[in-house]
Amino acid sequence: MTQLDCWGLTLSIDLYGCNALFINSRSEIKRFSIEICDLIKMKRYKDPIIEWFGQEEKVKGFSLVQLIETSSIVGHFRKEDNAAHIDIFSCKHFDPDVAVEFSVNFFSAKEALSNLLERK
């Protein structure tokens, strides 16, 4: 199925061994949100929501919600093991490879896994 045959895309990016200074910084996560939207040509709706929470150490960290005109970008950043889990969902076409490469480079990830789902 090609992009034109589906309603939208959901891209999940799991990053491991990230730069701890970046995934534990509200300002860097905000910068990531702005820059990835610009790169994949998504129009942001207001500023991102970035909150620190988690009662258990294994899930403690920042969470990001960036609304975009065509849906959202969501991220969860785990302090305990310097991991990041990012989901991009949009009914507007974007290049998943560009988004993955940018995310890996931005957070200096040592390992990355990604999955692309075409939404019908």
SS (H, E, C) 39-89: HCCCCECCCCEEEEECCCHHHCEEEEEEEECCEEEEEEEECCCCEEEEEEE
What is the C-alpha separation between 42 and 30, in angstroms, rounded?
15
Q: Compute the distance between CA of residue 117 and CA of residue 92 in angstroms, rounded to an integer.
A: 14
Weakest-pLDDT range from 17-26, 39-48, 50-59, 81-90: 50-59
State mean pLDDT over 53-59: 84
1 lies in some domain: no
CA 19 to chain CA mean position, Å: 15
How high is the pLDDT of residue 2? 45
82 — pLDDT class (breaks 50, 70, 90): very high
Please, which residues bridge with residue 77 across strands?
84
* Secondary structure element (H or E) that encloses residue 110, with its range: none
**Total count of domains within the chain:** 1
Q: Is residue 77 part of a domain?
A: yes
pLDDT at residue 4, rounded to an integer: 56
Residue 62 lies in a domain: yes
Question: Is residue 65 included in any domain, yes or no?
Answer: yes
Q: What is the domain extent for residue 99?
A: 6-119
Task: Record the pTM.
Answer: 0.92
- How far apart CA 108 and CA 55 sit, in angstroms, is 27
11 pLDDT higher than 50: yes
Determine, yes or no, domain membership for 30. Answer: yes
CATH of the domain at 10: 3.60.90.10
